[in-house]
Chain A
């Protein structure tokens, strides 16, 4: 009985300690961001590593999402004679939800893992400890540029995902199915609002960028300095970022789009 109670207490305290640790890490990173902004070269390198190298998978996924959504929506809409709204539905789905969320999930898998592995191996190789010995804060020199790079890259990638998806929907709707291209664009132009839909989608993507990069950096920075530790941290990065992205998406959608 006492053992069970003790176990419960230990779990609760460990959880609290973990959360507190993560919160301190978060505030340390926020404080390190201005120093990183003073060194745009380092940030540019990270945008290149995180953003440019994610382009192909993001563009390919966006195109696939647009093509498939258009085909499926046509099947559902044609029964009601509303196939002209195909572009509008695909556009809203991409800009509001699928663009930010799928980009966030792909970003966690493509860029988050590489950040965790990089930082984790630096820690395992005691490079971070060596930097601290030289009175260089590894959070400022190594982690903060990666954070800024991730936050800058994520909205750009999400926008490209949505834009390519709309082009994919155009290919299916206008070229394959034969919906009038004027109506295809006009339905979007009358119903999609720049600030409400695209702007909120951008806000979502930025939030997901913060979540994915923060989780990846924290997992890398706090991993056990062994090969297994890095492997586990990389796995945890994908799982935790994905769950956080999905949870945050529900909250943000409820806040942004619950009123008509």
Chain B
């Protein structure tokens, strides 16, 4: 009935319509694959599946503007991602949970720092491997941490350092070292 209404359909025929629709759907799947793999985080090497990662924790006095899904880097190479950030209610420290790629093992005296990519870039966690013979296992906590640098604190330190050194020029070296 529909074919009689639409002269085009009698020309093309049922099978060809199904082929064309199949091509249309396939095109959509290809577009989605292109977007997901080439233009989003699914295909990048840094994205971790659930099975091939282990957890590490680190306590920071100040996490700055670190966000979940921020990269964890060692020597600039992405080795994992920040999974969650919560506040420890007893110590009032930020607890950062990280998913680390299973292929990378870190010594137990590894240090974690919160760093900034470029001057205005996003913050990430940097891991500096130590020299311990034993490796961190899944769920372990990194003992040595260095908090994010907060620009306001830095400026106020700088200003108070300048004021001190102006008041007593002889102690400029000790003020700068503070």
Contact surface of A with B, Cβ cutoff 8 Å: 41-42, 44-45, 47-49, 51-52, 55, 87, 91, 95, 152-153, 155-157, 159-160, 162-164, 166, 185-186, 188-194, 197-198, 260
Partner of B28, one of A95, A156, A188: A156
* Residue B24 interfacial (CB < 8 Å): yes
Cross-chain contact A52 with B20 (CB below 8 angstroms): yes
Residue from B27, B36, B44 having most chain A Cβ neighbours under 10 A: B27
Query: Please, which residue of chain B has its CB at the minimum distance from the CB of A152?
Result: B25
Q: Which residues of B contact A155 (CB under 8 A)?
A: 28
Partner of B39, one of A41, A45, A51, A188: A188
Query: Please, which residue of chain A has its CB at the minimum distance from the CB of B2?
Result: A45
Partner of A159, one of B14, B21, B35: B35
Evaluate whether A198 and B32 lie within 8 angstroms (CB atoms) in the complex, with A42-B2, A91-B39 already known.
yes
Within 8 A of A (CB), among B1-55: 2, 6, 9, 14, 17-18, 20-21, 23-25, 27-28, 31-32, 34-36, 38-44, 46
Cross-chain contact A192 with B28 (CB below 8 angstroms): no
Query: Please, which residue of chain B has its CB at the minimum distance from the CB of A169?
Result: B39
Query: Please, which residue of chain B has its CB at the minimum distance from the CB of A149?
Result: B21
Cross-chain contact A189 with B40 (CB below 8 angstroms): yes
Complex CA distance for A47 and B21, rounded to whole angstroms: 7
Query: Please, which residue of chain A has its CB at the minimum distance from the CB of B43?
Result: A189
Q: Which residues of B contact A192 (CB under 8 A)?
A: 39-41
CB distance from A163 to the nearest CB of B (A): 4
* Residue B105 interfacial (CB < 8 Å): no
Cross-chain contact A189 with B35 (CB below 8 angstroms): no
Cross-chain contact A156 with B35 (CB below 8 angstroms): no
Chain A contact residues, majority secondary structure: helix
**Interface residues of B, count at CB 8 A:** 29
Partner of A194, one of B24, B31, B36: B36
Query: Please, which residue of chain B has its CB at the minimum distance from the CB of A189?
Result: B44
Q: Which residues of A contact B39 (CB under 8 A)?
A: 87, 91, 163, 166, 185, 188-189, 192
Cross-chain contact A48 with B2 (CB below 8 angstroms): no
Residue from A52, A157, A163, A193 having most chain B Cβ neighbours under 10 A: A163
Evaluate whether A159 and B32 lie within 8 angstroms (CB atoms) in the complex, with A189-B40, A189-B43, A194-B40 already known.
yes
* Residue B71 interfacial (CB < 8 Å): yes
Q: Across the A-B interface, give the 3 residue pairs with the lowest CB-CB distance, nearest first.
A: A156-B28, A163-B31, A189-B44
Complex CA distance for A86 and B9, rounded to whole angstroms: 44
Q: Which residues of B contact A48 (CB under 8 A)?
A: 17, 20-21, 24
Cross-chain contact B67 with A260 (CB below 8 angstroms): yes
Complex CA distance for A54 and B46, rounded to whole angstroms: 37
Q: Known pairs A41-B18, A163-B34, A193-B69. 9 more at Cβ < 8 A?
A: A44-B18, A45-B2, A48-B17, A55-B24, A152-B25, A162-B31, A163-B32, A192-B41, A194-B40
Q: List 15 A-B contacts (CB under 8 A).
A: A44-B18, A44-B21, A47-B21, A48-B24, A55-B27, A163-B32, A163-B39, A185-B38, A189-B43, A189-B44, A189-B46, A192-B40, A193-B69, A194-B41, A198-B32
